[in-house]
């Protein structure tokens, strides 16, 4: 979930595990809760401005300048039509990064809904998925309030 200004709520699951880590930003702090160890990392967020449309255009420009992008096809993902893209670094040679990515981009919103990174041998090394995408849905502020679980250890950084 994302809501301006700077409110974010993500659940992260590592490959091969069932455990989900919660990463929540209330606009002032980032809370990272790891249920298996019942620990919380609390980090003060720096003051930054919101990302603008021109910031997105800059990021897209950098990506297109540094990356080869090809269309692999069209696929349905979570009942949404997506473009399946493959990207790889343009730079070649011994010191160049040796990986490629697959990105599923929503046809309607142009948001990446799934991202997979592969090493030079074709092994999956990272995967990010967005499920149940809703845009401008009126998310209540209460979704971004972190409630500290009983007995949790809090480690403050930043």
Tell me which DSSP letter residue 7 carries: E
Mean pLDDT over all residues of the chain? Answer: 85
What is d(CA 151, CA 140) in angstroms, rounded to the nearest whole number? 27
What is the average per-residue pLDDT within 77-104?
A: 84
More confident residue, 155 or 53: 155
pTM to 2 decimal places: 0.61
User: Rounded to the nearest 5°, which phi and psi values hold at 31?
Assistant: -110, 125
At 53, is the pLDDT very low, low, confident or very high (cuts 50, 70, 90)? low
- Asked if 74 and 83 count as a contact pair (C-beta separation under 8 A), the reply is yes
At 157, is the pLDDT very low, low, confident or very high (cuts 50, 70, 90)? confident
Q: Which of 25-29, 63-67, 95-99, 129-133 has the highest mean pLDDT?
A: 25-29
Q: Count the Cβ atoms, other than its own, within 10 Å of residue 66.
A: 12
What is the average per-residue pLDDT within 136-144?
A: 85
pLDDT of residue 75: 95
pLDDT(102) > 90? yes
pLDDT(95) > 70? no
What is d(CA 34, CA 38) in angstroms, rounded to the nearest whole number? 6
Widest CA span in the chain: 52
- Secondary structure (3-state) at 147: coil
Beta strand pairing call for 67-77 and 39-44: unpaired
Q: Output the CA angle 43-47-156, nearest 5 degrees.
A: 10
């Amino acid at each position: 979930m994302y809501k301006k200004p700077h409110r974010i709520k993500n659940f992260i699951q590592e490959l091969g595990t069932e455990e989900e880590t919660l990463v929540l930003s209330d606009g002032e702090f980032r809370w990272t809760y790891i249920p298996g160890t019942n620990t919380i990392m609390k980090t003060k967020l720096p003051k930054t401005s919101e990302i603008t449309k021109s910031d997105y255009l800059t990021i897209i420009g950098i990506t297109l300048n540094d990356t080869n992008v090809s269309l692999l096809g069209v696929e349905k993902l979570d009942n949404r039509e997506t473009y399946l893209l493959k990207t790889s670094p343009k730079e070649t040679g011994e010191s160049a990064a040796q990986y490629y990515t697959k990105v599923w981009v929503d046809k309607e919103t142009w948001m990446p809904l799934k991202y997979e990174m592969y090493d030079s041998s074709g092994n999956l090394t990272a995967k990010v998925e967005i499920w149940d995408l809703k845009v401008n849905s009126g998310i209540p502020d209460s979704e971004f309030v972190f409630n500290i679980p009983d007995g949790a250890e809090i480690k403050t950084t930043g």
